[in-house]
Structure 1
Amino acid sequence: MSDRTGITAEALGNSLLSQFEDIKFEKNHLPFVDTLKKTKLAIKKINTASLEEGMPVLVFSTQINQNLRQLIIDSNCIFFDFFDTFISKMEHALNLKSSHTVGRSHGVSQNDHYTDRINSINFSLNSDDGLGLKYYDQADIILIGASRSGKTPSCLFMALQYGIKAANYPLIEQDLKNTKLPEILQQYKDKLFGLSINPIRLQKIRDKRKSNYASLQQCQSEVRRAEDMYHTNNIRFLDTTQTSIEEISAKIINKLSLR
């Protein structure tokens, strides 16, 4: 729950819930709870859900308005107040009062960061799957790898979350005939980062998309030859098989010191 997008509360809440693997949680996202009327509607949902479940529901909140927050606290729920938990402690540590302004982290009030993210998203879209080769000199990073190894979602996530200009280039059959880097990539070697994946996993992904190159033998061949190219050219790479898009992006950013 939040008086804005609720993205922060949802992310922190999901992180906590993920530690309880044996419980299946039913989640309800309540963004933009920023008026008394909306707060009362939210409280009605909370109380109804608690009554149906026979126990108080868990509410993860970044609600800033103190009066509205107190109404929710008084409802039939177990309230996790991320705002008060962190901001109050920071105010004490810094000996300063926070602005208590809504929408700071995801709004357009941070114009420079917001503009960077929008520009980076457009860049990644225009440079997806080998498109926009003439813009590679502007890229912060260029992901390479076999098709369906996770390049596109990783590029978009880095652009959206961090404002990183990420392009990607698919290593096709012609590129994998030898371990030499494709000519178009040679001048950008310092920007390259490779993605790999378990061939069985790759085969399942391609098979779902009805790809004509989904045979296990083809997947094994492409992955092996792509990794040979990485090793030969000293290109850092990451196995994405059991790794989420968030983790892939974080590991790449860390390895390349992009932040």
Structure 2
Amino acid sequence: MNGYSIFCVSDHTGVTVESVAKSVLAQFPHLEFSLITLPFVDSAEKAQATAARIATAPRTLIFSTLTDPTLRLPFRQAGLSLFDVFDLIAPAVESALGQTATPSGGHTHGMASDYEARMDAVNFALNLDDGLNPERLDQADLILVGVSRVGKTPTALYLALQYGLRAANYPLTPDDLEQDDLPVCLKAHLPRLRGLTLSPERLAAIRQARYPDSRYASLAQCRMELSAAEVFFKRHALPIVDTTRMSVEEIAARLRLS
């Protein structure tokens, strides 16, 4: 076996530690990793069982966000390579603040005060997906615009779930692109419009997977649509994000700052 088994261990959902692990491992592009997330390791018994499970696997690294120091002991006692976020960072923060941290698990992704707002934003994104209910565009924080398959829907949903932003998305169809300008319903909301684009080759590959050998998926069609959309974007000086080499998380982060 040439690769490493990476275990992301958390006393809650594991979302934070998984993000940290992915970011760190991305710095080692010549190595192979398989990522396994083990959430809700929130008792001594679960920690011992998890450590015993990992100890049987070859070539392992463990990233963890175990806020209770006692939960980290079984992994160290088993001689495993453990990189705990709190273990590594909390002492430096304690030093800077002049205070001792009080371990308290599960606060990062629990029922936070913005939970209802995020759920409302998700429902909004679904109700205004793919050009639905354009009469409600005035209620949107952001309106994502682009041709079919540039990543509008997943990005809108991520903006809603992660940041609580009400994101609508509107597809520019071939009929729209044959007109002289953006649809009227979009021009009424220019400050909130954000253009999404990507390379013609990437768009063709995405469309080909869904509709093989169709005109819709042809490279010529993709080039034509992207070029026409870019004319609209530049005419109105819309912020544009090229999604060709970006994850949904990266796209959403850039849009949030645009």
Give the alignment's TM-score, normalised by structure 2.
0.91
- Structure 1 residues 64 and 178, CA gap change in structure 2 (3 angstroms): same
Ranges in structure 1 where 5+ consecutive residues have no aligned partner: none
- After superposition, what is the alpha-carbon deviation per residue over 1:22-46, rounded to whole angstroms, capped at 9, x for unaligned? 1111222111111122112101112
Cα shift at 1:218 = 1.4
Answer yes or no: is 1:43 the counterpart of 2:46.
no
Distance in 2, matches of 1:94 and 1:13, equals 26
Residue 220 in 1 paired to residue 228 in 2?
no
**Structure 2 Cα separation of the partners of residues 115 and 75 of structure 1:** 42
- Whole-angstrom CA distance in 2 between matches of 1:224 and 1:193: 16
CA contact (8 A) 1:181 1:233 kept: no
SS in 2 for 1:161: helix
Shift of 1:92: 2.5
Letter in 2 for 1:98: A
Identical aligned residues as a percent: 41
- 3-state secondary structure, aligned to 1:195: strand
1:253 aligns with 2:256: yes
Tell me, yes or no, if the aligned pair for 1:46 and 1:76 is still in contact at 8 Å: no
1:105 aligned to which of 105, 108, 124: 108
Distance 2:126 2:100 in 1: 41
User: What is the 5 A alignment of 1:21-32?
Assistant: 21-32=29-40
Q: TM-score normalized by structure 1?
A: 0.91
| Equivalent in the alignment of 1:93 | 96
2:226 is aligned with what amino acid? V
Residue 3 of structure 1 deviates from its aligned partner by 0.8
CA distance in 2, matches of 1:4, 1:92: 26
Q: Does 1:80 align with 2:83?
A: yes
Question: Where does structure 1 differ by over 3 angstroms across 4 or more consecutive aligned residues?
Answer: none
Could you say which residue in structure 2 is the equivalent of 1:70?
73
Q: Secondary structure at the match of 2:33?
A: coil
Structure 2, unaligned stretches of length 5 or more?
Answer: 1-8
Q: Displacement, 1:252? A: 1.5
Q: SS of the residue aligned with 2:38? A: coil
Contact 1:144–1:194 under 8 Å retained in 2: yes
Residue 17 of structure 2 is matched in structure 1 by 9
Q: Distance in 1 between matches of 2:127 and 2:185?
A: 17
Indicate the SS of the match to 2:50. helix
Query: Which of the pair is proportionally richer in strand?
Result: 2
Contact 1:139–1:165 under 8 Å retained in 2: yes
Residue 217 of structure 2 aligns to a residue whose secondary structure is coil
**CA distance in structure 2 between the aligned counterparts of 1:64 and 1:242, rounded to whole angstroms:** 34
User: Is residue 192 of structure 2 the alignment partner of residue 200 of structure 1?
Assistant: no
- The CA distance in 1 between the partners of 2:36 and 2:122, in whole Å, is 28
- Change over 3 Å in CA distance of 1:104–1:124 after alignment to 2: same
Tell me, in whole angstroms, the C-alpha distance in 2 between the residues paired with 1:11 and 1:234: 33
**Paired letter, 1:71:** P
Write out per-residue CA displacement over residues 145-183 of structure 1, whole angstroms, 9 at most, x where no aligned residue.
000011111111111211111110000122111341201
